[in-house]
């Protein structure tokens, strides 16, 4: 798989700062990373700029869950629902969740591969707005 012609844009919603730092470092060659610590902050960022290739959110956030963020995208940022990755250490095997799941703990090679796959062909997000 060749390198993208431009960096991907990834919004990370995670309240554990060490996870955010690890993802920022691990994705630095592949993506421009914007991070938020809560759903409200993420929605404010998306209201100003929803041109992200991927949204990654932790399931267990302080005031609202990653699944609540996913639901909030409907009708406002539908294209990002198709580009959503839920990070969790919980077993969601029997849950009715229709999003990509990234199981914690994860390695950065897995993260990079998943982001590249979820982002799809470069520039595709512009066509789905």
Per-residue pLDDT, 126: 41
Say if 1 falls within a structural domain: no
pLDDT band per the 50, 70, 90 thresholds, residue 121: confident
Domain range for 103: 8-127
Say if 20 falls within a structural domain: yes
Say if 41 falls within a structural domain: yes
Per-residue pLDDT, 74: 94
Cβ contacts of residue 51 below 8 Å, gap of 6+?
9, 125, 126
Per-residue pLDDT, 116: 96
- Tens digits of residue pLDDT in 4-46: 568 999 999 999 999 999 999 999 999 999 999 999 999 999 9
Say if 95 falls within a structural domain: yes
Per-residue pLDDT, 44: 97
Say if 3 falls within a structural domain: no
Which CATH number fits the domain that encloses residue 103?
A: 3.40.50.2300
Domain count, the chain: 1
Say if 66 falls within a structural domain: yes
Quickly tell me which residue has 């929803």 as its tokens. 50
Per-residue pLDDT, 89: 86
Please give the average per-residue pLDDT across 46-51, as a whole number. Answer: 96
Per-residue pLDDT, 122: 57
- Percentages helix, strand, coil for the chain (3-state, rounded to 5) are 35, 20, 45
pLDDT band per the 50, 70, 90 thresholds, residue 128: very low
- Tens digits of residue pLDDT in 80-111: 999 999 999 887 766 677 889 999 999 999 99
53, 90, 91, 97, 106 from 94: Cα distances, Å:
28, 11, 8, 9, 20
């Amino acid at each position: 798989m060749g390198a993208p012609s431009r960096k991907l844009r990834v919004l990370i919603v995670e309240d554990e700062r060490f996870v955010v730092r690890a993802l920022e470092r691990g994705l630095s060659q592949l993506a421009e990373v914007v991070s938020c610590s809560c759903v409200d902050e993420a929605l404010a960022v998306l209201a100003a700029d929803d041109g992200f290739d991927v949204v990654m959110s932790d399931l267990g956030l302080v005031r609202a869950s990653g699944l609540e963020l996913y639901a909030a995208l409907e009708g406002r940022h539908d294209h990002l629902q198709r580009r959503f990755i839920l990070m969790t250490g919980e077993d969601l095997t029997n849950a009715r969740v229709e999003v990509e799941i990234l199981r914690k703990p994860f390695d950065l090679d897995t993260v990079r591969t998943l982001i590249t796959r979820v982002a799809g062909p470069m520039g595709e997000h512009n066509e789905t707005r």
